[in-house]
Amino acid sequence: MSSVVGIDIGNISSKIGVARARGVDVIANEVSNRSTPSLVSFGQKARALGEAAATAQTSNFKNTVGSLKRLVGRTLQDAEIQEIEKQFINAELVDAKGEVGVKVRLAGEEQVFSATQLMAMYLGKLRDTTSKELGGAGVSDVVLSTPLWFTDAQRRAMLDAAEIAGLNPLRLMNDTTATALGYGITKTDLPDSDNPRNVVFCDIGHSSYQVAVVSFVKGQLTVMGTAADRNFGGRDFDRALLLHFAEEFKGKYKIDVLSSPKATFRLAAGCERLKKVLSANALAPLNVESIMEDIDAASQLKREEFEALIAPLLERVTKPLEAALTQSGLTKDQIHSVEMVGGSSRVPALKERISAWFGKPLSFTSNQDEAVARGCTLACATLSPVFKVRDFTVHDSTPYSIKVTWDKAADVPDEDTELVVFQPNNPIPSTKILTFYRKENFDLQAYYAQPELLPRGINPWLGKFSIKGVSPDAKGDHSIVKVKARLNLHGVLNFESAYTVEEVEKEEEVPVADPQAMETDGENKEAPKTEIRKVKKLQRKGDLSIVSGLVGKDASVLAELKEKEGQLYSSDKLVIDTEDRKNALEETIYDQRSKLDDKYKLFVTAEEKEKYLAALNEQEEWLYTEEGEEATKSAYVERLAALNKIGQPIQFRQKESEERPKAASQLREALNRYMEMVQSGDEKYAHISDDDKQKVVEKCATIAKWLDDGLYKQSELPKNADPKITSAEMLKKKDEVIYFCHPMLVSRSHKDRAEGEARSGQADEEAEGFDEDDEEELEEEESVEGQPEEDTSGGDVSGSALSSAEEEERQLLERLARVPGGADHGANPVLASPDKLEQLFAGVVRARSETPSSAHSGSRGGSMGPGPTSPSAADAELVHFMSKPKPRTETPVETPKPEEKKADEGDKKTEDGPGEMDVD
């Protein structure tokens, strides 16, 4: 089953949602955090991603990169990259084939990775985290969040990154739309379409602030207006604090924090902590141990001082609100509620200003940190066939208008040369058809129509689309060319298809206006008059081809990047595996050496110990040589195997000393049980023939002898000698005895029944009764399985739940019982007399009583001595099972009652079709 996953790609951290039958789960990563740092770090041997990158960051600033979503789809020359993003990135930013990238050192080599590659690496980590959560299942279909202000180039770069990471993004979803979906889909009280509920969603995260005005009616949401401040978020507040304290410490401690990346990092982390404390307190302390030059820096800040520091930012708070509301065409009093999400929506000054502007309290019903991931997951569930989710339609919108330009056709002098095809706030997805009159091929260029709205460095040019295969029509005139432009689910522009149409005349029945009909009374209305006329219609004629020149990467470049990522992934894995084997070797050396004087002391000969210690010491010495420090995976594996070869017999002897008594006890228990059964005078065993009883006794006696002989020989051996009898052999014998005895007893029981029925001459009646019994017994069995049984033995069996050994045996028996007919052992002509049975039985008892006492320890139900023994709980289970006739295969086919049939169908649907998901 393919997985259903939604990921909120945050600037500081990302959250992963997984759809399950009971709803959406935001999953925890390898260190149990529900969000994963959006960081990629390049180390001396391998890459570190997410949590590992956050750990590596402190000691590897220059090679650790964050702000991944701020970099994708942008260029090095981009003014915002140079003026804004650079402040938050320690790695060296460089050009990577027209895209911004980083120059880092990986495995001792200088390498350049583009922003798309960095994002792909990080997405790969999130993919692996998700896959692990899903028990190793492959992760492909996914919905990824993007800021609503992302442009075509940024969206295409995200899609490219997802492809490199082997993901299949079903949709790139705007942060605020995802939150709105999560909000709407869970509401059961949404109004009808004539009275929509208008909700404003404000997402203030780490790097940006987004606002969307969304109208909800039953089963549907429509984004009415959006706006954003792309450079407004938690990191800006942190930076304001950082600059403030850096300045303060210049005077107070005579240190320039900003001159050292490490000190800056430490202070920034302290500032973020202080900021969070200030969200709930009027005053917060700042303590940064060993910030630089061994100085422990300390200070404090009042909330109003913090607000003064971020005053320029606070002034910008209402701008996106105004813009989004204006675009929506709604007024403040039409707004039902204002939903706040994003980590920074906890800052009191922001909340106060937003609340004051709307003139109403804010709403915090969505999970501030996880709403976007939840929404993306729900979107993925609605797009994927795996789950059936409540129908909910999402009408998203694009913030940017798009125009298309073209060269004037020489012979169409008054033709326009551009057209705004998608207006601001145009719905996503949407398709527009453009019509041209052309005799030959032509080009279209697409641009964002208002470049001033874009992030500053983004090129407004979206692509060139050459329409090929155009020729004059049959009369030598212009062909009518239709071109389909589509803003797809990701918010990405494409020219999907182009074709020519021709005008054809068709005869059609058309209504004609009848002036008298207007005057006639409604009741005497006659059918409207029609007539056959020739009408001109456009008919699709031939398809044209489109050659696109887009901002995104072409397929061959993507394939190359995918291959490169695959190589990096494999080499990371090799490094991890090598490290793992090296640790395993190191651990083995210490572990085994200490055990030789402790756990293995009795199980090793002096000679072996000397040899093993020498080998362990040799490996330890090697490990600390230069060669051992940096060896290959196979070198560690080989050395580990060599040690294990010496250690294995010793480990085996010790382990066997623990396992042998347990296995012996299990075998003996099985033998006892069958012996008791055949020896018992109980009515319920009456069906077992003497012949079968004898076979059982003989089998049990032989195996008991084998066991006792083996255990006796073992008891004469020193503990440091290889075992004469092993636990595995005993367990095999246990299976053997069960396989031998059980079918014989069961099949005989069936035969007897059948014979009984035939003899009675009331086969039909009894067969019916048999069925009833059958049912009763089946029911009984269920109740037996579900309830603790009473201990009737009064022995050492505390008979409630089955022990694992008994359960294992029960399963083995059940498997056997499923074999049609069971085993047929034929008739044994030699019937054992009761005396002979007694003799054989006594033999077993005797043999058992002679076995070394260690072999008895832990034995349950081992009371094979004289005197009748009541069946233990497990026996009861066994007896019950054995006396139960097998359900007959020729069950009458009944026509189910209508309700039953319905229920069946329903069940089938859930099994075969999509699972239902509880979205509440």
Q: Is 198 in the site for ligand ATP (CB under 6 A)?
A: no
Q: Which is nearer to ligand ATP, 281 or 839 (CB)?
A: 281
- Please work out the total of residues on this chain that contact ligand ATP, with binding judged by CB under 6 A: 22
Q: Which is nearer to Mg ion, 175 or 708 (CB)?
A: 175
Element (H, E) at 403: strand 402-406
* CA pair distance 160, 178, nearest whole angstrom: 21
891: which DSSP letter?
A: P
Q: Is 699 in the site for ligand ATP (CB under 6 A)?
A: no
Q: Which is nearer to Mg ion, 208 or 694 (CB)?
A: 208
State the sign of the Cα–Cα–Cα–Cα dihedral 568, 571, 575, 580.
Answer: positive
For residue 92, the Cα-to-chain-centroid distance in whole angstroms is: 34
* CA pair distance 790, 779, nearest whole angstrom: 18
* CA pair distance 524, 517, nearest whole angstrom: 10
Which of residues 57, 63, 177, 208 is near ligand ATP by CB under 6 A? 208
- Interface positions, 293-312, toward ligand ATP (CB under 6 A): none
State the sign of the Cα–Cα–Cα–Cα dihedral 179, 185, 190, 192.
Answer: positive
| Residues forming a β-bridge with 146 | 174
**Element counts in the chain: helices (H) and strands (E):** 25, 30
| Minimum separation from the CB atom of position 343 to ligand ATP (A) | 2
Q: Is 346 in the site for ligand ATP (CB under 6 A)?
A: yes
Which of residues 12, 115, 255, 844 is near ligand ATP by CB under 6 A? 12
Q: Which is nearer to Mg ion, 206 or 860 (CB)?
A: 206
Q: Is 17 in the site for ligand ATP (CB under 6 A)?
A: no
Instruction: Check if the beta carbon of residue 84 is closer than 8 Å to that of residue 97.
Output: no
Amino acid 628 reads: G
Q: Is 581 in the site for ligand ATP (CB under 6 A)?
A: no
What SS3 state is found at 204? Answer: strand
| Minimum separation from the CB atom of position 537 to ligand ATP (A) | 51
* CA pair distance 134, 917, nearest whole angstrom: 17
- Interface positions, 60-89, toward ligand ATP (CB under 6 A): 69
Ordered strands of the 109-114 beta sheet = 92-96, 99-106, 109-114
* CA pair distance 12, 238, nearest whole angstrom: 13
Q: Is 455 in the site for ligand ATP (CB under 6 A)?
A: no
Q: Which is nearer to ligand ATP, 245 or 465 (CB)?
A: 245
What SS3 state is found at 916? Answer: strand
| Minimum separation from the CB atom of position 205 to Mg ion (A) | 3
β-bridge pairing 220-229 and 393-398: parallel
Q: Is 859 in the site for ligand ATP (CB under 6 A)?
A: no
Q: Which is nearer to Mg ion, 50 or 871 (CB)?
A: 50
Q: Which is nearer to ligand ATP, 268 or 650 (CB)?
A: 268
Binding window for ligand ATP (CB under 6 A); candidates: 73-81, 338-346, 542-550, 712-720: 338-346
Site string for ligand ATP, 259-278 (x = CB under 6 A): -------------x--xx--
Instruction: Check if the beta carbon of residue 189 is closer than 8 Å to that of residue 219.
Output: no
Nearest CA among 350, 544, 335 for reference residue 438:
544
Tokens of 532: 């056959």
Which of residues 114, 129, 207, 384 is near ligand ATP by CB under 6 A? 207
Which of residues 114, 344, 592, 869 is near ligand ATP by CB under 6 A? 344
Out of ligand ATP, Mg ion, none, what residue 272 binds, judged by CB under 5 to 8 A for its kind, is ligand ATP
Out of ligand ATP, Mg ion, none, what residue 6 binds, judged by CB under 5 to 8 A for its kind, is none
**Concatenated DSSP letters of 671-722:** HHHHHHHHH---GGGTTS-HHHHHHHHHHHHHHHHHHHHHHHHHHTS-TTS-
Neighbours of 87 (CB within 10 A): 12
Q: Is 279 in the site for ligand ATP (CB under 6 A)?
A: yes
Q: Which is nearer to ligand ATP, 37 or 723 (CB)?
A: 37
Q: Is 205 in the site for ligand ATP (CB under 6 A)?
A: yes
Q: Is 723 left (phi over 0), alpha (psi -120 to 50) or beta?
A: beta
Q: Which is nearer to Mg ion, 174 or 793 (CB)?
A: 174
Q: Which is nearer to ligand ATP, 231 or 479 (CB)?
A: 231
Q: Is 235 in the site for ligand ATP (CB under 6 A)?
A: yes
For residue 601, the Cα-to-chain-centroid distance in whole angstroms is: 47
Which of residues 6, 50, 234, 871 is near ligand ATP by CB under 6 A? 234
- Residues making contact with Mg ion (CB under 5 A): 10, 205
Q: Is 206 in the site for ligand ATP (CB under 6 A)?
A: yes
| Minimum separation from the CB atom of position 344 to Mg ion (A) | 9
Using CB under 6 A, list all residues that contact ligand ATP.
Answer: 10-13, 69, 205-208, 233-235, 272, 275-276, 279, 342-344, 346-347, 369
